[in-house]
């Protein structure tokens, strides 16, 4: 169960404010092969981690391009976020449940983030400025772990202009590694049925720690008022919960 929290502010009132603050956890089997975040090729245009599972090589869960495009196949598509998600929605019924967030940042029309979940509304929607959360259900579904995550995230975001960039990243990573189970929560228990009940006390936390499965990547993305991007990834090494490496990429979005 992955979780993603973000604040979107296309017109920050202060020069020190951020247009986007995003923090995400990738939960997956520890031994599933993948690559840590890096630029895809020498052009240094697209940055993301990559799934290397046989038959699914090249997929990604979160990424950004220097053009200001954020997420999955949209990174390589020469199309705006709404049009991309509109096309996806036309075939959404053919797939198992999924959620997609696509963003156009630094555009002449202003920043745009769109959302589509194939178990929700039939067409994608534009998101207003605000704080949002996403887990294993539709956007802002009030699971207790998501509500708790948004609360902790909001407390940090409120102080974002007072913190150095490094301290902001550090505090967001602390939020995403919180292991306090948010129980009871009938909604999460009902979705998982018998598979979830034995590990419910671990599964109901922001940071999941189960045998062989759990949170193996933390990602923080900051985009400031002038389009400077800080992309930080904390990644598990060798399927060992005691070994981690952190990498940071900084660049400016194309104007």
pLDDT digits (tens, 9 = 90+) for 162-178: 999 999 999 999 999 99
Global pTM exceeds 0.85: yes
- Assign domain 3-252 one CATH number from 3.60.60.10, 3.40.50.720, 3.30.365.10, 3.40.50.2300: 3.60.60.10
Model pLDDT, residue 1 = 66
Query: What is the arithmetic mean of pLDDT over 149-156?
Result: 98
| Residue 196 confidence (pLDDT) above 80 | no
10 Å CB burial of residue 157 (0-12, 13-18, 19+) is buried
Question: Lowest mean pLDDT: which of 92-96, 143-147, 179-183, 188-192?
Answer: 188-192
Question: What percent of the chain clears pLDDT 90, i.e. is strictly above it?
Answer: 75
Query: How sure is the predictor about 202, in pLDDT bands with cuts at 50, 70 and 90?
Result: confident
Choose among 148, 169, 239: nearest CA to 18: 169
Distance set, CA 254 to CA 21, 65, 104 (Å): 19, 9, 12
Q: What mean pLDDT is reported for the chain?
A: 92
| Residue 198 confidence (pLDDT) above 70 | no
């Amino acid at each position: 169960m992955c979780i993603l929290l973000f604040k979107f502010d296309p017109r920050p009132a202060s020069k020190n404010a951020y247009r986007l603050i995003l923090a995400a956890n990738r939960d997956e089997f520890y031994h599933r092969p993948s690559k840590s975040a890096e630029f895809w090729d020498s052009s240094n245009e697209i940055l993301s981690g990559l799934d290397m599972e046989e038959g699914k090589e090249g997929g990604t869960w979160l990424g950004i391009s220097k053009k200001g495009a954020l997420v999955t196949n949209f990174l390589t598509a020469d199309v705006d976020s709404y049009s991309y998600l509109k096309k996806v929605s036309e075939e959404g019924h053919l797939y198992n449940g999924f959620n997609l967030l696509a963003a156009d940042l630094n555009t002449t029309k202003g920043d745009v983030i769109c959302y589509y979940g194939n178990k929700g509304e039939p067409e994608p929607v534009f998101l207003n400025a605000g704080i949002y959360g996403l887990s294993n259900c539709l956007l802002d579904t009030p699971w207790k772990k998501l509500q708790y995550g948004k609360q902790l995230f909001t407390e940090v975001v409120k102080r974002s202009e007072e913190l150095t960039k490094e301290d902001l990243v550090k505090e967001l990573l602390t939020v995403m590694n919180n292991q306090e189970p948010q129980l009871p929560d009938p909604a999460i228990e009902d979705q998982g049925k018998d598979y979830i009940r034995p590990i419910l006390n671990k599964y109901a936390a922001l940071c999941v720690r189960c045998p062989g499965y759990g949170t193996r990547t933390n990602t923080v993305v900051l985009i400031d008022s002038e389009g400077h991007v800080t992309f930080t990834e904390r990644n598990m090494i060798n399927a060992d919960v005691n070994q981690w490496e952190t990498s940071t990429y900084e660049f400016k979005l194309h104007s």
